[in-house]
Amino acid sequence: MTPCNVALLKRSIAGPVREHFPLSPLTTFGVGGSADVCIWPASTQDLVTLVKMKEDTSLNIIGGGSNLIISDGDIKGFVLCTKYLSSFSLFRKNNEVDIEVGTGVSLGVLVSFGLRYGFSGMEFGIGIPGTVGGAIIGNAGVQGETVSDVIQWVEVVDESGEVLRFKKEELPWGYRRSVLQERNYIVTACGLRLQAKDPYWVKEKADNFLQKRKSQPRGFKSAGCIFKNPDGESAGKLLDECGCKGLRVGGAIVSEAHANFILNMGDAKAADIWALIEECRRRVFEKTGYVLELEVRGF
């Protein structure tokens, strides 16, 4: 996009627009180059305007930045950050509550709401630093509970700038996937339905999820689990059995605590992480025949 068009974009949307903006601070991995143009839409209308103005310019999206590896060097085109798409409203009825949330709302906000008021359905999100939008795209979950269990509808902006709303049943869901991964949609908001429970019961359930997370490495930058679990197997167990713990490329290392985590030891580059990912996949395939699928994404 030309400087003239960027100037027009800045006048056309309410949210901030920054040029040559460093992206590594926006991710939990702490890697990545700078965006040609970084945009923080303030509303769905901002998104509609952006999509209609971008023409052939590439568009990448950052939510919580927790499941993402951004390439080194300059990132061409637009990078969209969902931070300010954070609407939150609720409607109580009997033993349920319907919540409408913007795509940029953190999972932690939903977990805290459930804990405070005794609503169950999002406890699995405790300790996950992502946003609602990212959770929907990847059908985030833990131990058989997923965000699709509580979804009622999803609102998106399509590639022509039209706002669409889909019922849950219209969107096929699977293990760590949704059909939204395959479409050029931008998630703007969703409706969730939580169940009223005893607050102490909700807290106990959340604590159980949190306890299981204690085996995961802490104190270093990472993107969480790198690979999906194959059917009937644990990716971490396969990686461990194939000697991946402790493997290192540059500033990136496979965690000794959990082999499905790659850690940034402070000076890792995206290229280091991708090289380590490919080495881990190679070892697992050569020894077991499993082709590990990525849980993280990149651009």
Do residues 131 and 64 make contact, with C-beta atoms less than 8 angstroms apart? yes
| Residue 69 confidence (pLDDT) | 98
Pairing assessment for the beta strands 75-81 and 59-62 based on DSSP bridges: parallel
Residue reference for tokens 């998104």: 47
DSSP 111-144: HHHHHHHTEES-GGGTT---BHHHHHHHT-EETT
Query: How far is C-alpha 60 from the chain's CA centre?
Result: 13
CA distances from 180 to 15, 46, 162 (A): 25, 21, 15
Do residues 145 and 135 make contact, with C-beta atoms less than 8 angstroms apart? no
Both tokens of residue 260? Answer: 């499905």
- Whole-structure pTM value: 0.90
Closest CA to 46 of 6, 11, 12, 17: 12
Do residues 139 and 176 make contact, with C-beta atoms less than 8 angstroms apart? yes
| Residue 5 confidence (pLDDT) | 84
List the chain residues with pLDDT less than 70: 1-4
| Residue 184 confidence (pLDDT) | 87
Catalytic residues: 176, 225, 295
| Residue 273 confidence (pLDDT) | 99
In the chain the domains, ranked by start, together with CATH numbers, are 6-81 (3.30.43.10), 88-213 (3.30.465.10), 221-298 (3.90.78.10)
Do residues 185 and 158 make contact, with C-beta atoms less than 8 angstroms apart? yes
3-state SS class at 109? helix
Distance CA 164, CA 224 (A): 31
Do residues 69 and 274 make contact, with C-beta atoms less than 8 angstroms apart? yes
Closest CA to 100 of 81, 118, 116, 87: 87
| Residue 290 confidence (pLDDT) | 97
Distance CA 38, CA 64 (A): 15
Distance CA 29, CA 250 (A): 14
Query: How far is C-alpha 277 from the chain's CA centre?
Result: 19
Give the relative orientation of helices 3-12 and 44-54 as an angle to the nearest 10 degrees: 160
Helix (H) / strand (E) element for 80: namely strand 75-81
Do residues 114 and 194 make contact, with C-beta atoms less than 8 angstroms apart? yes
Contacts of 18 (CB under 8 A, 6+ apart): 35, 37, 38, 39
Residue 288: CB atoms within 10 Å: 14
Distance CA 274, CA 280 (A): 10
Distance CA 108, CA 126 (A): 6
